[in-house]
């Protein structure tokens, strides 16, 4: 029997995922994982932040599908054996949302419309100077499916855009200059005034946005983080803001979520906060993508999106 096991933290969301998969393909039996019951015998699990006990309990699992692009919460090599095939969601509606979010951050940085709300309240008719895009070179950290769409969407608006990837890329896009590897990180940062982070969280990228890398940015720069909170050293970000080297920051993700009420990030006048909404996996699109990958597996075809344990993405 074709069985999919759903393991997500919220019960209501689990039932919504069951419905989404059944609507897409009713030939699959879709169950919600219940640790109090005997092992289901399912060969495939669809998960979001699953507990270690899932993999201890469900010993017949042959593949895991993560309901998101980032797999840092899975604990590959700890919670999940490195031999277990893990597949991540590729886009499923997230890339366009994250490109929009990046543009929102760019508009906050440039203050393209910042004065007009106050002017409306005061009934003042006063056009503001035009924003010169050449004054706001953008650097996108990460050049996978999401990073590429973010970079190209901003480049199409006329901003000078570069992207930095951990590994070299063979493609040479016309509108986006690609930097790659540790040797090219500092030159990439030194030409950037708006820094957009969409990197996967790995041992190599944890804390990458820190005192040294922030100092390399152009003066009066702006940081947009919609990847993972642990990419940023919060104390270094606050220090860079207080020294006026940074103009501001738009933060969607945090090391602890929900963000604790006593965090100084909440009240800093130059920080804008959103509750991890930059790229929300669209349920129907995600279910369809997982089912397509499952059908490929059953046909002996290797699906795209498999996570490489060496790189943690």
Quick check: 83 pLDDT over 90? Answer: no
**Is 228 annotated in the active site?**
yes
- The model's pTM is 0.90
Q: What is d(CA 140, CA 160) in angstroms, rounded to the nearest whole number?
A: 11
- Would you state the pLDDT for residue 76? 65
Dihedral angle of Cα 176, 180, 183, 186, to the nearest 10 degrees: 40
Catalytic residue among 43, 166, 228, 231: 228
DSSP reduced 3-state for 313: coil
Domains and CATH numbers, the chain: 3-90+281-298 (3.40.50.720), 94-273 (3.40.50.720)
Burial profile 155-191: b = 16 or more Cβ within 10 angstroms, e = fewer: beeebbbbbbbbeeeeeeeeebbbbbeeeebeebbeb
- Would you state the pLDDT for residue 78? 66
DSSP reduced 3-state for 166: coil
Tens digit of each residue's pLDDT (9 = 90 or more) over 236-278: 999 999 999 999 999 999 999 999 999 999 999 999 999 999 9
Catalytic residue among 13, 31, 272, 276: 276
Rg of the chain's alpha carbons, rounded to an integer?
21
**Is 276 annotated in the active site?**
yes
Of 1, 30, 12, 80, which is closest to residue 291 (Cα–Cα)? 30
């Amino acid at each position: 029997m074709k069985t999919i096991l759903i393991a997500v933290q919220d019960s209501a969301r689990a039932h919504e995922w069951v419905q989404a998969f059944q609507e897409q393909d009713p030939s699959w039996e879709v169950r919600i994982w219940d640790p109090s019951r005997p092992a289901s015998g399912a060969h495939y699990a669809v998960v979001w932040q699953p507990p270690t006990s899932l993999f201890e309990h469900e010993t017949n699992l042959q593949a895991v599908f993560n309901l998101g692009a980032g797999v840092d919460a899975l604990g590959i090599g700890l919670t999940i054996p490195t031999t277990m095939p893990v597949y991540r969601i590729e886009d499923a509606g997230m890339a366009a949302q994250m490109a929009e979010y990046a543009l929102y951050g760019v508009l906050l940085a440039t203050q393209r419309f910042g004065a007009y709300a106050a002017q409306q309240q005061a009934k003042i008719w006063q056009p503001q100077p035009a924003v010169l895009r050449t004054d706001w070179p953008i650097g996108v950290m990460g050049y996978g499916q999401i990073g590429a769409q973010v970079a190209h969407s901003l480049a199409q608006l006329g901003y000078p855009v570069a992207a930095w990837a951990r590994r070299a890329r063979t493609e040479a896009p016309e509108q986006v200059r690609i930097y790659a590897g540790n040797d090219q990180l500092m030159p990439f940062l030194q030409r950037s005034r708006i820094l957009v982070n969409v990197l996967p969280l790995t041992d190599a990228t944890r804390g990458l946005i820190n005192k040294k890398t922030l100092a390399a940015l152009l003066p009066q720069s702006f940081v947009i983080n919609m990847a993972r909170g642990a990419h940023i050293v919060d104390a270094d970000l606050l220090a860079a803001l207080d020294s006026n080297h940074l103009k501001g920051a738009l933060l969607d993700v945090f090391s602890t979520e929900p963000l604790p009420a006593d965090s100084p990030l909440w009240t800093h006048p130059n920080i804008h906060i959103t509750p991890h909404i930059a790229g929300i996996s669209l349920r129907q699109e995600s279910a369809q993508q997982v089912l397509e990958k499952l059908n490929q597996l059953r046909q002996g075809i290797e699906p795209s999106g498999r996570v490489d344990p060496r790189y943690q993405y």
